[in-house]
Amino acid sequence: MATLGLSEQEKEAVAAFRRDVVEPSQTKLVLVDFWAEWCQPCKQLSPIIEKIAAEYADRGVLLVKVNVDENRFIASQFRVQSIPTVYAVFQGQPVADLSQARTEGQYRQMLDQILPQLPIESEAGQLAQDLAPLLAMGEEVLAGGDAERALSVFAQIGEMDPDNAEALGGQIRALAALGRLDEAEALIAALPAEIAKEAAIDRGRAAIALARSATPGVDIAPLQARIAANPDDLDALFEMSTAQMAGGNRDAAADALLDIIAKDRDWNEGQARSQLLQLFDVVGLEDPWVAAQRRRLSAILFS
């Protein structure tokens, strides 16, 4: 904002705006709330936007309130015609008009859309970068069959970031792999509602369901004999798949389930396909192994 020809009061307002909004917005997303003492809707919005700003502070969001009666020049520069008016400002420029938002849910939805698109510097972003290698290690160790060590890695991440859904989901899946299903379910039950809805927790639920359907320590030799004698014994194939899952052999489990689907895709009301999709959820839909098994499934279904 140019200051040539401005009154001293307007120059002070511009200097304050640069200090409070423009400079912080170089690295943060600044919510500028234009309001006035006489504005009743402003008073109703105030506790909502203050709560949201506090909630998103660690993601780089900052709230600045501008009284339009005391800062008419600033309001005119933003072409504020009615209040409350709320702009999201990044690097000195408005990037979104949030004035239509009136509820916490609407603000969350808008901010969740805006923040990933901007190079915001935030505590949460830095923490996520720091934890990414540990999360990858935990997943690798768990996939390798060392559930005890994976549980330790995910628990360590949880100590650094207690609300990290990926770490919590990893703990749940590790507990399920260890057969500690009651502990896994208790961990889910203790989660805050918002975290419990995360996809990572759904993967944990799927792991528990698979573990409960599988009987650990099953001798697969009799099953192998049944299948060798009758390759179309779909009950034996399904029992084999659950036994292999209990033993941590996801390749053999997938082979058995795909064999069932190839022979009778509607067997037992599609139980084999449901079990396979549940296995995909546990491993993770973005995992290359799942992508490979999906291609095998598609080849069977669309051949």
| 39 counts as catalytic | yes
Report the C-alpha dihedral over residues 227, 231, 234, 239, rounded to 10 degrees.
20
Query: In the chain, what is the greatest distance between 2 CA atoms, to the nearest angstrom?
Result: 96
CB contact burial 212-251 (16+ within 10 A = b; e otherwise): eebeeebebeebeebbeeeeeebebbbbbbbbbbbbbbbe
What residues form DSSP beta bridges with 32?
64, 87
From the CB of residue 86, how many other CB atoms can be counted at a distance below 10 Å? 22
3-state secondary structure of 39: coil
Question: Whole-angstrom Cα distance, residue 261 to residue 272?
Answer: 6
Q: Which of 14, 21, 31, 42 is catalytic?
A: 42
Distance from chain centroid for Cα 105:
17
Q: Which has the closest alpha carbon to 111: 64, 56, 66?
A: 56
Q: Which of 39, 86, 96, 206 is catalytic?
A: 39
Question: Whole-angstrom Cα distance, residue 71 to residue 13?
Answer: 6
What residues form DSSP beta bridges with 63?
31
Question: Whole-angstrom Cα distance, residue 83 to residue 33?
Answer: 9
Beta strands (DSSP E) in 44-102 are: 61-67, 85-90, 93-97
Residue 88's φ and ψ, nearest 5 degrees, are -95, 125
Q: Output Rg (C-alpha) for the chain, integer angstroms.
A: 28
Active site residues: 39, 42
